Copies of this chain bind each other. A is one copy, B any other.
Amino acid sequence: MPQPAGQHTVRRHNCALVLDAIADSPGLSRAGVAARTGLTKATVSTLVDRLAAASLVREQGPQHRAGPGRRGTSLSLSPEGPHGLGVEIAVDHVATCLVDLTGEVRWSAVSPSANRAQPAGRVLTRVAKAVRTALGEAAARDVTVGGVGVAVPGLVEASTGLLRRAPNLGWRDVDVPAELRRRTGLEAEVLVGNEANLAALAELRAGGHDGLRDFVHVSGEIGIGAGIVLDGELYHGTRGFGGELGHFPVSSRGPLCSCGARGCLERLAGQDAILGRAGAADLPTLLDRLEDGDRKAAAAVRAAARPLGTALSSVLNLLDVPAVVLGGTYARLFPWLGEPLRAELTGRVLSAPWQPIGVLRSPLGTEAAVRGAATAAVHTIVADPDTFIADGVLP
Contact = CB atoms under 8 A, between A and B. Distances in A.
Contacts of A321: 237-238
A38 to B, nearest CB: 5
A214 interface: yes
Interface string A230-262: 110001111111111101111111000001110
Given A2-B20, A4-B38, A320 B260 contact: no
Contacts of A228: 318
Contact of A320 (B6, B236, B247, B248): B236
A193 B243 CA distance: 26
Chain A: interface size category:
35 or more
Contacts of A259: 350
A5 interface: yes
Nearest to A320: B237
Nearest to A240: B320
A322 interface: yes
A317 interface: yes
Indicate how many identical chains form the complex: 2
A13 interface: yes
B241 A155 contact: no
Nearest to A263: B252
Contacts of A252: 250-253, 263
Contacts of A9: 5, 10, 13
A243 to B, nearest CB: 7
A239 B241 CA distance: 25
B317 A315 contact: no
A244 B4 contact: no
A390 interface: no
A259 to B, nearest CB: 7
Contact of A319 (B231, B237, B260): B237
Contact of A5 (B14, B242, B251): B14
A318 B243 contact: yes
A384 to B, nearest CB: 13
Nearest to A38: B4
Contacts of A348: 247, 249, 261
A375 interface: no
B236 A39 contact: no
In this complex, the member of A14, A251, A311, A314 whose beta carbon has the largest number of chain B beta carbons within 10 angstroms is A314
A351 B239 contact: yes
Given A2-B20, A241-B320, A261-B347, 12 more contacts: A2-B17, A4-B17, A4-B38, A5-B14, A155-B351, A241-B350, A243-B318, A243-B320, A247-B317, A247-B350, A249-B313, A318-B318
15 contacts: A2-B37, A4-B14, A4-B37, A5-B10, A6-B10, A7-B7, A164-B351, A165-B350, A230-B235, A240-B320, A241-B320, A241-B350, A242-B319, A243-B318, A244-B320
Interface of A: 2-7, 9-10, 13-14, 17, 20, 37-39, 43, 155, 164-165, 214, 226, 228, 230-231, 235-245, 247-253, 259-261, 263, 310-311, 313-315, 317-322, 347-348, 350-351, 354-355
The 10 closest A-B pairs by CB, nearest first: A237-B320, A242-B320, A244-B317, A241-B320, A5-B13, A5-B10, A4-B38, A214-B238, A4-B39, A251-B252
